[in-house]
Chain A
Amino acid sequence: QVQLVQSGAEVKKSGASVKVSCVASGYTFTSHMMHWVRQAPGHGLEWMGWINTGNGNTKYSQKLQGRLSITRDPSAGTLYMDLSSLRAEDTAVYYCARETYYYGPGDSHYFDLWGQGTLVTVSS
């Protein structure tokens, strides 16, 4: 079935890096842009960045620019999120999300499929 399955929980030390994967199945991987969204404990959703799964172009939030890298392997239908120089405030659940574009009167990009989430804990 159509789904996104993420890798398991991670515990990292401050200053280290973490790489989370997201395997897509049940649809054509390169037909949709993919995003990463995170949620710190007790907080709301924070958009991190996107990747064009066809050509690999990326865009990152200004806040994470320089520490975030989003890549993909189209042959494996897999998306990756690499966050470096981890700090305590990076502790969060990280979600991959599939973007779908709605051809209506407005500019309409939304997330219609989400991974189950991966908890990344950063300890000092």
Chain B
Amino acid sequence: QSVLTQPPSVSGAPGQRVTISCTGSSSNIGAGSDVHWYQQLPGTAPKLLIYGNYNRPSGVPDRFSGSKSGTSASLAITGLQADDEAYYYCQSSDSSLSVWVFGGGTKLTVL
């Protein structure tokens, strides 16, 4: 059971918009810890997609965006493409305990 809760799967047709939610608690996201998102393609290491709730590292298309409110966060992907098909993970931290936490991951299927 992961500390952060994500839907196991989402899907969308090419060109559509999908969102992936990430729900935490008052000890992590709700305590002011930022949320970060990673994309993991099959057989590869995770890749940073969004940091600090909504910031994109250089090279990440602006089709990917993040937001945070209260104890939850969301990742939105617009203009879905076939190569967006991957697992997506959210991550935050519990600063009082100095531990890091992940969501269980969401498999994105492009129909």
Whether the pair A44, B51 counts as a contact (CB closer than 8 A) is no
Interface size class of A (residues with CB under 8 A): 20 to 34
With a cutoff of 8 Å between Cβ atoms, the chain A residues found around residue B48 in the complex are 110-112
Interface residues of B (CB under 8 A from A): 2, 31-34, 36, 38, 40, 45-48, 51-53, 55, 57, 87, 89, 91, 93, 95, 98-105
Known: A45-B105, A107-B95, A117-B45. A112 touches B57 (CB 8 A): yes
User: In terms of DSSP, what is the predominant structure of the interface of chain A?
Assistant: strand
Q: Which residue of A lies closest to B57 (CB)?
A: A112
Whether the pair A44, B102 counts as a contact (CB closer than 8 A) is yes
With a cutoff of 8 Å between Cβ atoms, the chain A residues found around residue B101 in the complex are 47
| Residue A82, interface by CB 8 Å | no
Whether the pair A102, B52 counts as a contact (CB closer than 8 A) is yes
